[in-house]
Amino acid sequence: MAITFFLDPKADVGAVKEACAAAKEGGYEYICLPQWFVSFAKAELEGSAVGVATILGLPGGTTSPYAKFAEAKQAILAGAALIIFPVNMALLEAGDFAAAKADLDTALVACKIESGKKSGVKTAALIDGEKLGTDALRRAAENCVASGVGSVMIAHNEAAAEAISRELPAVVAF
């Protein structure tokens, strides 16, 4: 999954326009933008192969699952092709994998509803692997796959992501 990230919260429309042009020229599959730029970027990228992605629940997936549900619904309506759900890191760091999975399950409902309507929206879970060992990351990734995300992105721990990806092909280093 080739993604270019442009997440500057201070960006203006001109900067987003330039980032979209660069994404097209760079042959990226997605450009990931703050949610408030999704509909603008979708229009800018019309006719190209580049889709718009957005990350919800920042920072660290700690917003409520209902807030993430609402954000997902809004992103879908704005034209996002890929929605990235950060897994609640506070819950994972506390070892409460069941609560982190329940949080993700609830947040994903909006995408599952839209998928039933054939919107084509894809989903990914994002796990910050910096503070988690390989076993904890594996368990978190298994829960994400069980929740139904299309892929699991593990950041800040490339070695663990590679090892886990051999068992779970949906896992990629980020």
Q: What is the pLDDT along the chain (174 residues), one digit of tens a residue?
A: 788 888 887 889 999 999 999 999 999 999 999 989 999 999 999 999 999 999 998 777 888 888 988 899 899 999 999 999 999 999 999 999 999 999 999 988 877 776 555 567 899 999 999 999 999 999 999 999 999 999 999 999 999 999 999 999 999 998
- Domain layout of the chain by residue ranges: 1-55, 62-80+89-174
CB count in 10 Å sphere of residue 131: 11
Place of tokens 């896992």: 171
